Structure 1
């Protein structure tokens, strides 16, 4: 147990960190919605209009987040809740980024429909899991959603004309990108670091199973 004064300082720091994360998330989400979805469709918006729309968007997001808060108590703990949320949200995004960087046949339509259908499926499965109709562990669900997202991306890409690779050549991953910019010892090489992390992750998974 910490002394009374130290406890107050620790709690103040914790609350400040939480508030910082929350306002950054709200600001990013509001900016994304305002600048990427609303402004392109309404080119005549002034700076004041954009600021006002951003405030309203932030308010709506705050109300939605506050309304969702009681659902968190249904989870065994905060860590379990965060990991569960990531398991339903992240797989679709991972599939899009992975295929977009490595497969030149992928198209923007495939990315769009993978994002829409993948998140829609994730939302349905999440609701079913909370109502007791879908009891698969979230770690397995994450793998299934990733596989489905890969399948949707590949299928939609093959059903659409091949994109112009020259327009997006710079975004594709190349072998040269994995090489260090200058010579360095092996213990400073990030490729060995990545291999070590993968090995440790595999050992942890094998150990738990």
Structure 2
């Protein structure tokens, strides 16, 4: 599989293919915007927003901006898992914003993986690893908070099972490190993972706490 990604990455570096890819991505983006806005009643949505009390609307807007800021930084950390990645703030923000509508294309938000084709990363494999890791830590925070809540609110479930859910969820980043270590071709990402993982954990804890506000 790794060799296939390498071959695909080499093909995408061809000038003609790069131009075709740019046009294709542009058309896809326009089509996606058309589909999204076609399904949204902008008039009704705006009417509901205007019905909100001004202080409430301001608070909602500020919390939303804070959450997006946290998730953009989470995406930035995920991209830095690749030692060869050349940091571009504009690209980080644009690819993150692109992924927001892409989440609605496929069930479970898996459509957001398509944003790897909007990155100038060293390889598609590196971009896929970054995207998978980003989603891993988002899932980690949700599952861990849910498991801790279940431990105290669902006494009818066996205590060992509840504790096991907490352990499994809390150690998901460690399980991911073991998976990376299991393949020689993935071990090159481990040093950066050791640096970025704690940062991503703190960011997702902050994001989850903001969601509870």
Question: Under a length normalisation based on structure 1, what TM-score does the superposition of the two structures give?
Answer: 0.29
Query: Greater relative contact order: 1 or 2 (C-alpha under 8 angstroms, separation 6 or more)?
Result: 2
Larger Rg: 1
Question: Under a length normalisation based on structure 2, what TM-score does the superposition of the two structures give?
Answer: 0.29
